[in-house]
Amino acid sequence: MDWLTAVSSFCHVVETGSFTKAAEQHAVSASAISKRIDWLEKELGMSLFIRTTRQVNLTEDGQLFLPKALEWVTQFAEMKEQAQKAANEPEGSLKIAATLAVGSTILMPNIESFLAKYPKLKIHLNVIAPGAHPDLQHDLVITRYYEGFDSTAHKGTRLIDYQMQLFGAPEYLSRHAKINSLEDLKQHRMLLSNYYHKIGGIVLDSGEVFHFNNYNFVSDHLDAILTAAIQGMGLMFISPEYIKHELESGLLTLVLPEVKSEAKQLWAYYPKASFTPFKTQLFIDHLRAQLA
């Protein structure tokens, strides 16, 4: 436990008049807020609240402590803001994790422009498996949205929405049966990531599920899947944002333009704290601006 977290929680309990409402502001459980107040009272050697089942009131000691607590929290907030604004050239390292597809196609062009803007920063980019959950070893984890994500350790922010579509090499399409509908796809082999191989299908924006019953290559290496597609080994579902170069050069072409996956989201997850580190927020803002 740290003083800032505990005192900030104390101020929020006073402001809201409720442990539950204060917990909502901090995105933690009411029991977590209670433990923070218990720790603070033990450190101070005094009781701060009179707690009943219906309301929470300050003790005499709590009333005396409140002005000092508010002043300290306000001073810290102002100090943090001034320090962040003064950091025109932030320094240090930013550890980022992403799937191979996101890292190589979405992040790398934007990491280059970010480092050009903030040359004193260093970025460590690590690969995570598709479907892997965020971890506290990284400052940022860029990955798809996890439905029902609820963590006492992480925050999350949406970056972009995207849909996956079907692509193949012109050479492949010229020597295989013509594709006019989803039904025709049953005659064609798919190139899959391990994640989609595991779940066995993809939900389309129509609500229909296309099952990957016919496939011949599975890999988590995007370059390997792209090479397989370009070589004419099969077809692949992927977001067009990931293969701009291959589309512009004619190495791959869109199949069944009307067929799209359900809307998906790319999110940035980062450790939950009393404030977001300035360099982390800078990268999120930069990435969101570039992707927009």
pLDDT per residue over 52-61, tens digit each? Answer: 777 888 999 9
Q: Is the dihedral of CA 240, 243, 245, 249 positive or negative?
A: negative
- Name the nearest CA neighbour of 128 among 194, 57, 48: 194
Helix-then-strand count for the chain, H and E: 11, 14
Instruction: Give residue for tokens 């422009």.
Output: 113
pTM: 0.61
What averages of pLDDT result for each successive group of 10 residues across the chain (292 residues)? 86 88 82 92 92 84 92 77 64 87 86 91 86 76 74 80 94 93 91 91 93 92 92 94 91 96 90 76 91 80
- Name the nearest CA neighbour of 176 among 227, 214, 219, 222: 214
Q: Where does 3-86 sit in CATH, by number? A: 1.10.10.10
Residues contacting 38, CB < 8 A, separation 6+: none
Cα gap 265→145, rounded to integer Å: 5
pLDDT per residue over 155-190, tens digit each? Answer: 888 888 889 999 999 999 999 989 999 999 988 999
Cα gap 210→201, rounded to integer Å: 5
- Per-residue model confidence (pLDDT) at position 87: 56
- Name the nearest CA neighbour of 247 among 105, 102, 103: 105
Helix (H) or strand (E) holding 170: helix 170-175
CATH of 92-162+265-291, one of 3.40.630.30, 3.20.20.70, 3.40.190.10, 3.30.360.10: 3.40.190.10
The structural domains of the chain, with segments of one domain joined by +, span 3-86, 92-162+265-291, 165-262
Cα gap 103→126, rounded to integer Å: 8
**Cβ pair 134, 157 in contact under 8 A:** no
The values of phi and psi at residue 149, to 5°, are -60, 125
- Per-residue model confidence (pLDDT) at position 96: 94
Please give the single-letter amino acid code of residue 198.
K
165-262 under CATH 3.40.190.290, yes or no: yes
**92-162+265-291 shares its CATH topology with 165-262:** yes
Cα gap 140→155, rounded to integer Å: 10
- Per-residue model confidence (pLDDT) at position 136: 66
